[in-house]
Amino acid sequence: MGELPIPAGTLWGAQTQRSLENFPIGGIESRMPLAVVHGMAIVKKSCALYHSDLGVMEDHIARAIAQAADEVLAGKLDRHFPLVTFQTGSGTQTNMNVNEVLSNRAIQILGGTVGSKDPVHPNDHVNRGQSSNDSFPTAMHICAAKTLHERTLPGLRILQTALVQKVEEFGAVVKIGRTHCQDATPLTLGQEFGGYLQQVEYGISRVEASLPSLYRLALGGTAVGTGLNTVEGFAEEIAAKIADETGLPFTSAANKFEALAAHDSIVEVSGMLNTMACSLNKIANDVRLLGSGPRCGLGEISLPANEPGSSIMPGKVNPTQCESLTMVCAQVMGNHVAISVGGAQGHFELNVFKPVMIANLLHSAVLIGDAAASFATRCVEGIVVNQDRVTQLLHGSLMLVTALNLHIGYDKASEIAKNAHKNGTTLKESAISSGYLTAAQFDEWIVPESMIGPSPANVTTE
């Protein structure tokens, strides 16, 4: 493996160039996420400053590495990280890409020649005390936790707030319920939206509950988990520096062998996002069906008309935010499959599906947060009730007959409903003609507004 020509103006070195040539896979969509690179930069900065404090790295070199890392974090050097996700399964080539870029940028800062490895060496200085096997999973946890805090949870909380408002707004709107896509007994639109709110709130709580598993960092395990080429206390002090840098409560993983060989925490977090995707898919589908029409569907609610819906049918408005969200959910479910397969593939002391696992997790985390926020602001917040349609469907439903069960029994009530449907009459007409009850009793017993919850304990049906 001889030296390779490096493109002019770039800060990467031979290992990065070799990876570019050995893994020409995919396009821009297959690039290693910059969030991972930024997580690596935090690791490198923390390690350099630690070794300076320890007195085993010259302070001016450590400061130059830290300055270069800050430039990476500010997005100033993004173009120097061209590698794809589909590389070595430990993320070694991205680790070396970061090492080379930080080394060369630090050399520039110190007035040296790019590519000389003098006075800042990519392995001896930037990678000191590390292995790709522990630094890359550490970066995985850093960027995953940051993304969940900065994109996923804020987006979900925007949707939570929008649903809270709709639950209150729709609290008095009594409508017909549906089970098996067939008419059922009444409930309020607020209760229906309350179910959606509970799904989102549960999802938020589960994502939050999975975060502590990401706060455990592998750094200090080096090659196989033993900590070779580090000193006692290194892992704990670096974790503390990373916590200070990010503002998140990172600590050193108690067992570095597990931290390198398995990524159950990534699978767990992905599982929470997968569950959230299932919830959001159900919510979006319900909303689009409740708003179907406007003339020939359910039409109980109207969705915001954000843009023309058809290139050929004038005036058509489609539930585009629902469609967008459900496509996101499909993608997240697919990402979880890839992550699950990757998590099952740890062999001996190292899982070698790290890049594809973190790339898919970050994709899911960003998509869920962004799509939830968009759905909230561009759909949920603008939903309005079509009261006339709600009333029409409510009073036209045969399932109001359920209220008669306690008064005349299931079989007689069933007979009334079947005859009404067969003869095309109203439920009241069928009930009166049955002789099982009077018109006055029907009006007393079938009150949709009284059918949206349990009866008071002291009320008798006699």
Find tokens 């729709």 and name the residue: 170
Indicate the fold that domain 140-214+255-386 takes in CATH: Fumarase C; Chain A, domain 2 (1.20.200)
Hey, what are 451's tokens? 């059918």
Q: Quick one: average pLDDT of 97-121?
A: 98
**Residue among 189, 183, 258, 185 nearest 217 (CA):** 258
For residue 5, the model assigns a pLDDT of 87
For residue 459, the model assigns a pLDDT of 57
Catalytic (active site) residue 30 = no
Hey, what are 359's tokens? 């790339």
Residues 153-185, buried b or exposed e (16+ Cβ, 10 A)? bebbbbbbebbeebbeebeebbbbbbeeeebeb
Alpha carbons 192 and 175: distance in angstroms, whole number: 10
- Please tell me which residue in 116, 205, 310, 455 is annotated as part of the active site: 310
pTM score, whole prediction = 0.96
CA-CA-CA-CA torsion sign (25, 26, 28, 32): negative
Asked if residues 163 and 201 have their Cβ atoms less than 8 Å apart, the reply is no
Classify 398-450 by CATH class: mainly alpha
pLDDT per position as a tens digit, 178-235: 999 999 999 999 999 999 999 999 999 999 999 999 999 999 999 999 999 999 999 9
Catalytic (active site) residue 141 = no
For residue 456, the model assigns a pLDDT of 83
Tell whether the model's pLDDT for residue 2 goes beyond 70. Answer: no
Tell whether the model's pLDDT for residue 462 goes beyond 50. Answer: no
Helix or strand or coil: residue 27? coil
- Please tell me which residue in 116, 121, 149, 180 is annotated as part of the active site: 180
CA distances from 120 to 107, 197, 353 (A): 6, 54, 31
Q: Quick one: average pLDDT of 358-375?
A: 98
Greatest distance between any 2 Cα atoms in the chain: 101
Place domain 14-128 in its CATH homologous superfamily.
Fumarase/aspartase (N-terminal domain) (1.10.275.10)
Domain ranges of the chain: 14-128, 140-214+255-386, 398-450
